[in-house]
Amino acid sequence: LLPQAAHWVLPHSPNLARFYCSSQRGVARRLVLRMSPSVKRVLCRRCCSLLLPGLGGSLRLRGG
């Protein structure tokens, strides 16, 4: 629920979106819950911001 709220709020207030993401991580840590991989993929491990191309992160492809 909090990551969905962060996605909705991100264009208007990036700081509030970051707060929602850090709250999500804190709650999961306190309650010893595992976050789903789809949620983990869109959160930065360092700053708890959303990693969306163009809004909060960049997309880099690895060539093989």
Query: Is a pLDDT exceeding 70 seen at residue 56?
Result: no
18-22-27-33 Cα dihedral, nearest 10 degrees: 100
Q: Are 53 and 59 in contact (CB under 8 A)?
A: yes
Residue 26 — pLDDT band, cuts 50, 70, 90?
very high
Domain boundaries, the chain: 1-42
CA distance 49 to 46: 8
- Token code pair at residue 12: 């208007």
Outline where 1-64 has alpha helix (H).
Answer: 2-9, 14-30, 37-41
Considering only CA atoms, give the Rg of the chain: 12
pTM: 0.79
